[in-house]
């Protein structure tokens, strides 16, 4: 697979993920239909289930892309979710976005293209010690913030827990890369690998921390911090875990993507 093909593979996976989110949001009412005394519509169940399936096939596309692209580039391409979500929300849900955000969407699209087409090839190096340190940092940060958030105001809760959830969610790309390098396509052997359970732990932890952030924090603070760290943390951690050569322009690109995410989410 070429670099361009890998880029579009990751991009397609993120489109399917965004489509899945949109389908679930559009058809979510069936979950509470009985409580409201309404009949559960089969079309709503099918639509919601289709969204669930699409959301869970996305890692396959990331796995294929990781065979060519480094984890930091694959993580950066994940920022396209916010663009796809905005477009799909308009088409499927009738939700409009502010015209003030359009320039940042364009900037982000350009930076995503640069990160994908100009990114270096995937590294076959993998530092186990660096991986576990990179996993420990967001885990410890999340635990600390969960306790400290009891004494924070809603905006601080949104930033701290949103960041923790984003960093853990972003680290899933590195866990998937660890599985690819250590076990390849022998998927049965994944079940005896600690990396699989790191992947699952990060996914579940990110989900639940985000729900707490939604409940106790300000949404305007949760979204930017979550999406920003979702891209930025794995992009930086990859340089240590995969021993990639440091390219300042690429680091600036990842920073620009994260900044665009923050400004679009505000």
What's the CA gap between 196 and 167, in Å, rounded?
Answer: 17
Q: What is the pLDDT of residues 144-173, one digit of tens each?
A: 999 999 889 888 888 899 899 999 999 999
Q: Using the Cα atoms of residue 94, residue 100, residue 102 and residue 105 in order, give the sign of their dihedral.
A: negative
Contact 162/210 with Cβ under 8 angstroms? yes
Q: What is the pLDDT of residues 195-214, one digit of tens each?
A: 999 999 999 999 899 888 87
The closest alpha carbon to 239, from 140, 126, 112, 132, belongs to 126
CA distances from 19 to 55, 65, 214, 255 (A): 8, 19, 22, 26
Contact 261/226 with Cβ under 8 angstroms? no
What's the CA gap between 95 and 88, in Å, rounded?
Answer: 9
Backbone phi, psi, residue 70, to 5°: -70, 160
Q: Is the pLDDT of residue 37 over 80?
A: no
Among residues of the chain, what percentage have pLDDT more than 90? 30
What's the CA gap between 107 and 124, in Å, rounded?
Answer: 31
Q: Please tell me the predicted confidence (pLDDT) of residue 32.
A: 63
The closest alpha carbon to 132, from 207, 233, 241, 246, belongs to 241
Contact 70/253 with Cβ under 8 angstroms? no
Q: Please tell me the predicted confidence (pLDDT) of residue 122.
A: 60
Contact 233/138 with Cβ under 8 angstroms? yes
Mean pLDDT of the chain: 84
Q: What is the pLDDT of residues 132-147, one digit of tens each?
A: 999 999 999 999 999 9
- Best mean pLDDT range from 134-148, 172-186, 246-260: 134-148
Q: Is the pLDDT of residue 255 over 90?
A: no
What's the CA gap between 119 and 122, in Å, rounded?
Answer: 9
Contact 83/108 with Cβ under 8 angstroms? yes
Residue carrying the six token digits 């699989």: 196
Burial of residue 12, with CB atoms counted within 10 A of its CB: 0-12 exposed, 13-18 middle, 19 or more buried = middle
Residue 239, token pair as written in the block: 């340089």
Element containing residue 26 per DSSP (H, E): helix 3-27
| Ranges of each domain in the chain | 1-105, 124-243
Q: What is the pLDDT of residues 65-88, one digit of tens each?
A: 998 888 888 888 888 888 888 888
Q: Is 216 or 61 the better-scoring residue by pLDDT?
A: 61
Q: Which residues does 128 contact at the CB level (< 8 Å), separation at least 6?
A: none
**Which segments of 89-193 does DSSP mark as H helices, in order?**
102-117, 128-148, 154-183
């Amino acid at each position: 697979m070429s670099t361009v093909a890998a880029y579009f593979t990751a991009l397609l996976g993120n489109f399917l993920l965004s489509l899945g989110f949109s389908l679930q949001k559009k058809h979510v009412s069936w979950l509470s239909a009985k409580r409201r005394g309404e009949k559960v519509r089969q079309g709503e169940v099918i639509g919601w289930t289709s969204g669930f399936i699409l959301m869970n096939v996305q890692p396959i596309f990331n796995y294929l892309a990781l065979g060519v692209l480094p984890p930091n580039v694959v993580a950066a391409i994940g920022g396209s979710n916010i663009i796809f979500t905005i477009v799909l929300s308009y088409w499927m849900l009738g939700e409009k976005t502010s015209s003030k955000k359009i320039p940042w969407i364009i900037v982000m699209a350009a930076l995503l293209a640069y990160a994908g087409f100009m990114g270096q090839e995937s590294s076959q190096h993998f530092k186990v010690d660096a991986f576990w340190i990179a996993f420990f940092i967001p885990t410890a940060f999340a635990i600390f913030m969960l306790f400290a958030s009891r004494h924070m105001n809603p905006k601080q809760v949104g930033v701290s827990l949103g960041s923790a959830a984003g960093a853990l969610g972003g680290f899933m790309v590195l866990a998937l890369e660890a599985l690819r390098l250590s076990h390849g396509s022998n998927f049965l052997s994944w079940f005896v690998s600690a990396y699989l359970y790191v992947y699952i732990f990060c996914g579940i932890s990110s989900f639940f921390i985000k729900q707490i952030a939604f409940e106790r924090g300000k949404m305007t603070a949760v979204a930017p911090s979550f999406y920003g760290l979702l891209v930025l943390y794995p992009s930086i951690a990859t340089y240590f875990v995969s021993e990639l050569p440091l390219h300042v322009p690429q680091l600036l690109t990842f920073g620009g993507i994260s900044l665009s995410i923050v400004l679009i989410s505000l």
